[in-house]
Amino acid sequence: MSEYMIQHPETYFNAFIPPRDSLLAELEEQARSEQIPIIGPVVGELLFILAAAAKAKRILELGTAIAYSTIWLARACESTGGHVLTLESNPDLAERAKINLHRAGLSQRARIKVGDAIEEMAEIKEPFDFIFMDIDKQYYLSALNPCSRLLKKGGLLITDNTGFKDADDFNQAIAAHSDWKVVQLYAFLPAHSPEKDGLCFALRV
Ligand SMILES: C[S@@+](CC[C@H](N)C(=O)[O-])C[C@H]1O[C@@H](n2cnc3c(N)ncnc32)[C@H](O)[C@@H]1O
């Protein structure tokens, strides 16, 4: 490691994990104990910043789980006057997500639809400004064309967990696709599941 770089960067950057309230901390604890993979506070804050900076009014999330990431996105919508539509195939998780959004005071900012994300997207007509994709990785490729259709030009598609083998076909396809300008980051993401993973940032062009 270069002498100019901070030593033990993973320990060092852990100190910059964004603060969060007791509800998010409780959901992180639930996710840890039940092994529900969530984005954690660093990627949560990143989504908040990107959605707020993009002034996103219509946000689509694929993969709600217990609404941890949905809460970060819906909080960004409080400054933009926007709304989140989040799609979750597991009805039990969707029920918990609904309760958590209510507890966060965000029931008016986010709506959960239970069903398969690819099938649900086929029924949607109105475009979105921002899409966050976090479903099972083997479905990412099937979601790519629906995302192209549903995201406005100039909108952002953020895809989690692109370091997984099952995301490889999606990673290859979006890199070669003329609808997208894409960057992949492989990063240390404290408290993300897993802590070293890929994140894909794609601009709809
Ligand atoms: C990684 S978890 C989502 C975590 C959440 N985004 C967070 O960070 O708080 C993935 C979720 O997607 C759901 N899921 C997987 N495949 C799906 C599909 N095809 N359609 C809708 N939901 C799906 C799973 O049930 C699971 O709850």
The per-residue pLDDT for 69 is 98
Bridge partners (DSSP) of residue 141 are none
Instruction: Report the C-alpha gap between 160 and 192 in whole angstroms.
Output: 10
The per-residue pLDDT for 102 is 98
Distance 136 CA to ligand 1 centre (A): 6
Residue nearest to ligand 1 atom 17, measured at CA: 135
Distance 135 CA to ligand 1 centre (A): 4
Distance 118 CA to ligand 1 centre (A): 12
Mean pLDDT of 72-96: 97
Q: What string of DSSP letters covers 2-48?
A: -TTSPSSHHHHHHTTPPP--HHHHHHHHHHHHHT----HHHHHHHHH
Ligand 1 probe mutation, 136, 137, 170, most atoms within 8 A of CB: 136
Ligand 1 probe mutation, 23, 29, 90, most atoms within 8 A of CB: 90
Residue nearest to ligand 1 atom 26, measured at CA: 65
Is 116 a residue whose pLDDT tops 90? yes
Q: Which atom of ligand 1 is nearest to the CA of 66?
A: 9
The per-residue pLDDT for 1 is 78
Q: Are the C-beta atoms of 135 and 144 separated by less than 8 Å?
A: no
Mean pLDDT of 34-38: 97
Q: Are the C-beta atoms of 130 and 147 separated by less than 8 Å?
A: no
The predicted-structure confidence for 124-183, as pLDDT tens digits, reads as follows 999 999 999 999 999 999 999 999 999 999 999 999 999 999 999 999 999 999 999 999
CATH architecture label of 9-204: 3-Layer(aba) Sandwich (3.40)
The predicted-structure confidence for 85-107, as pLDDT tens digits, reads as follows 999 999 999 999 999 999 999 99
Closest to 108 measured CA to CA, from 131, 151, 77: 77
- What CA–CA distances, in Å, run from 80 to 33, 70, 94? 34, 15, 25
Residue nearest to ligand 1 atom 25, measured at CA: 90
Bridge partners (DSSP) of residue 113 are 87
The predicted-structure confidence for 45-56, as pLDDT tens digits, reads as follows 999 999 999 999
**Beta-carbon contacts of residue 40 (< 8 Å; ≥ 6 apart):** 28, 189, 190, 191, 192, 193
Pocket of ligand 1, beta carbon within 6 A: 37-39, 63, 65, 68-69, 87-90, 93, 116-118, 134-136, 139
Instruction: Report the C-alpha gap between 195 and 121 in whole angstroms.
Output: 29
